[in-house]
Structure 1
């Protein structure tokens, strides 16, 4: 059994995914998993399932979703995996080994990557961590405010991991690979300055200075047009380093800076 938050909220079993049903039931599951092994109050669950005034029957709706989710887990022999959905007064707790949660495994792999002495081993750990992602975090759920915040936090962690992987590639001298990785992400996040800065440096180190400078100017125009701001220090510093022809070291010491 595996609980997935890094993509569509789901429960994978040996016979396939559980039929969780409506988005609000996935929201309930997501809220419980984000606080796995910790009681989640009825009020907190209400915030996760509705982003405006909840209906008068919100308690009953939540209880119904809990009942159905509990039945689904029982039918999948969840108890054999150490999984239990328990009621504690006006709160619910989903007890489960952390190894069954993809988000927890992601964090564990990041910790392992940062403990590696060499960039080659770090690359393997970072790539394994990123392979757990199957799409935007908490997809398929109705995201009330707390879940939107959680999804954003998970995505920030993923993007930071992409940047760390690019630095590990750089430490190995694999600048073209770093540039390819970062190019894909900057398409999806064109206003993220740290990504653009990392891409500029990777392009320069790969011998593609004109592309690196073009990336700076494109990002500068986007920031001005979309946000009305100038480049921050990270982007400006990368630009200055490239103009000087010395974009800094690519050693292991840079792997885990944020």
Structure 2
């Protein structure tokens, strides 16, 4: 990675050098950079780049536009020392961006690996803290404000990843006994993502452990209604199993501290 150059995509595309923001030009030029950054140094043919940024109906002058945007990005990114040069240009296989990575995504992945290791070691507090740090790297939607079919698909994929991190943090909080701290956020997320069963599962568990079994059962009924209305299906086995355990007041649902008291 080029020394001093930092690129971020967990929110609006941003590049900075030594703490100073690098001007990246108009939205389409920024979209070209985002797509090339996501190739992780792999070359991308002209046709694939056009499809990624413009889709099936590119403008008639698209070749000139691509060349203009690549030149603009090269001028913005190239002023580096020889030891850390960013190279953007045409190879025999297509356009290739070398010497630049996506720093916030790399940091997120490293934090989540540490969180998994901590969770597997029973270090729930540390796992939750690491997940929270990974979540805090987000500044908005993935590649926010940039258009094109490729980035739209990536945005959906990364929205899923973002929810997975939030769920991991919520689960760690619940296991640490911080049920009340989770309830507001879980209710908000269930409203925003009504068909995501993992969020409904976590909300039900947090309600039950907060001494609100009736509300936990009501949360299941609301989830079941939403799923039936939207998909015509029943909730999945994990949600149904938790519902049954709440109905029979399964002692295994309570934390060890509650069972010991």
| TM-score, normalisation: structure 2 | 0.85
For structure 2, list consecutive stretches of 5 or more residues without a partner in the other structure: 256-261
Cα offsets for 1:114-149 (capped at 9, x unmatched): 1112111111110110010011111111131x2222
1:222 equivalent in structure 2: 226
SS at match of 2:7: strand
Secondary structure of the corresponding residue to residue 3 of structure 1: strand
Give the SS at the match of 2:116.
Answer: helix
Q: In 1, are the aligned partners of 2:78 and 2:85 still within 8 Å (CA)?
A: no
| 1:256 aligned residue | none
Written as runs of structure 1 = structure 2, the 5 A alignment for 1:45-56 is 45-56=49-60
Contact 1:10 1:26 in 2 (8 A): no
Deviations 1:162-218 (A, max 9, x none): 111122112212222233332232232122111111211122112222322222222
Counterpart position of 1:129:
134
TM-score, normalization by structure 1: 0.85
Question: 1-side partners of 2:60 and 2:250: how far apart?
Answer: 63
Cα distance, 1:87 vs. partner? 2.5
Q: Is the 8 A contact 2:31 2:146 kept in 1?
A: yes
Q: Is the 8 A contact 1:171 1:250 kept in 2?
A: no
Equivalent residue of 1:40, what SS? Answer: coil
How far residue 81 of structure 1 moved from its aligned partner, in angstroms, is: 4.9
Q: Does 1:142 align with 2:147?
A: yes
Where do 5+ consecutive residues of structure 1 fail to align? 252-258
1:64 to 60, 63, 68: 68
1:51-130 equivalence runs, <5 A? 51-74=55-78, 77=80, 81-96=84-99, 98=101, 101-116=103-118, 117=121, 118-130=123-135
The question of whether the paired residues in 1 share the 8 Å contact of 2:37 and 2:100 is answered with no
Equivalent residue number for residue 202 of structure 2: 198
Of 5, 11, 14 in structure 1, the residue corresponding to residue 9 of structure 2 is: 5
Cα distance in 1, alignment partners of residues 84 and 130 from structure 2: 26
More displaced stretch, 119-128 vs 49-58: 49-58
Any idea what the Cα deviations from partners look like across 1:205-236, whole Å, max 9, x if unmatched?
A: 12222322222222222222233332222222
Residue 250 to residue 64, structure 1, CA distance change in 2 (3 Å): farther
RMSD over aligned Cα atoms = 2.4
Q: Mark the CA change 1:67 to 1:78 in structure 2 (over 3 Å): closer, same or farther.
A: farther
Local SS of the residue matching 1:19 = coil
